[in-house]
Structure 1
């Protein structure tokens, strides 16, 4: 299996990404073949939908404060030592108070408390690749966009690929079940659990009855040739090769700000498309 990240320019809010994806694939000089998997970042799809929420309008409640302290101190100093890697622990300890309180309140009001209790990446809402004080929730209609792109690729390149829209948030195996903390996922993955899906996955890792298997496929279109475990692994690989800012602390380190602007976004390199050649062996350059 080998993954090829495909560059595009910054796709703006409300802009149709499908012709941009087709043009980027043509310019990449990668020959598409039957059975290839094309993975799209959920951020690009949601941005194209214009699916933004301005967090500045939210006034933190007592619950937002509780969720903030729960994430920063309980997970950052206690539970994190049991369940999280050191990098995540350090990131939680650096949570900016003002921005985090507004973010937690937005999650409480739009998704619910069970998502706000998750210490990070609550409900798949993205903060790092969107302008100003906006947040970017998951796409509203991922299946529709996946099917549209699948048919356009089939028409344009005369190949039968699998199109997947995926999120970086984890899918876990728990005994014989697959779970995610996200609000939705493809059939076969139990979703909508929020924090409890995250906790189940972490406990399964500790008890060695399952654990992390990859990212989360949100929607697919095309001939289903792969199982949940393979799709989740592809989603994880796609995330690893994409050149995206992963969290707000990385944003601070690169640009000395927690608030990104469209100017910064337009200067950044974007690779929201990844082509997976399933039958092609990865070789070190």
Structure 2
């Protein structure tokens, strides 16, 4: 297989992404074939739904303080080391800014629940990148509906029978013969809705050599996908996540635009590739 990122303009809150995606695929000069995958970032779908929360409006309670100290000290100095969390993430946990983190944890508690706020980072799929101001972007409310709509529109406009996937960058882990994620939901075949325990079990499986990271998490799939295993689907989601061009270092954006707030105007100037086409029949050829 081979994956191609598809460039689109920035999709504004509440804007229908489907015609934008169709036009972007046409302009890419990539010829879709039956059986290809069209994989969408969950953030684009959530943005289209208008599914934003303003973290500045949340007032931290006692559980938010608990989650803040839990992440900074328990994860930062104990569990992170035991479960072999990456060293750069451990360093970031130890330096968590108090005021912003408290509001963020409170937003997670009220939006998806305490079990997700206890995760050290990437809690419940609530995304802070590529969104303006103090907004955060929870997972799409109805990803399967949007996957079906895009599938039907591609078939109508381009005359091909593809597989449409909406995926999140958060991990799916293999534990023995089971797949599990720390997200609130995922496709059938992946255990979800268990919050921080999905993360702990996944990291523990890696430490004990009975599993570990398997790929990224498909939230919805539509089309002829049942011939693929869960392992293959999460691997496709992972490959697409690796070729997306997104903000890697928010501080570089702050420095470039001399600001501490990401505005919609800045987001419009950045490069966005929230769609990836995966040619399932095309052999991957490394760039020399």
* TMscore range, shorter length: over 0.9
1:63 aligns with 2:68: no
- Name 1:54's counterpart in structure 2: 54
Question: Structure 1 residue aligned with 2:270, among 268, 271, 277?
Answer: 268
* SS state at 2:236 partner: helix
Following the alignment from structure 2 to structure 1, what is the Cα–Cα distance between the partners of residues 23 and 94?
Answer: 42
1:141 aligns with 2:142: yes
- Name 1:157's counterpart in structure 2: 158
Question: Structure 1 residue aligned with 2:284, among 264, 282, 285?
Answer: 282
Deviation per CA, 1:5-42, whole angstroms, max 9, x where unpaired? Answer: 00000000000000000000000000101111110000
- Name 2:254's counterpart in structure 1: 255
1:196–1:258 distance in 2 versus 1, CA, 3 Å: farther
Q: How many residues align?
A: 282
- Name 1:22's counterpart in structure 2: 22
What TM-score do the two structures reach when normalised by structure 2? 0.95
What is the root-mean-square deviation in Å for CA atoms of aligned residues? Answer: 1.2
Unaligned runs of 5+ in 2: none
Cα contact 1:128–1:260 (8 A) shared by 2: no
Deviation per CA, 1:194-249, whole angstroms, max 9, x where unpaired? Answer: 00011010111111111110000000110123111111011111111111125xxx
- Name 2:96's counterpart in structure 1: 95
Q: List structure 1 runs of 4+ shifted beyond 4 angstroms.
A: none
* SS state at 1:154 partner: helix
- Name 2:39's counterpart in structure 1: 39
* SS state at 2:189 partner: coil
- Name 2:86's counterpart in structure 1: 85
What TM-score do the two structures reach when normalised by structure 1? 0.96
Following the alignment from structure 1 to structure 2, what is the Cα–Cα distance between the partners of residues 258 and 233?
Answer: 35
Unaligned runs of 5+ in 1: none
Alpha-carbon deviation of 1:95? 2.3
Cα contact 2:254–2:261 (8 A) shared by 1: no
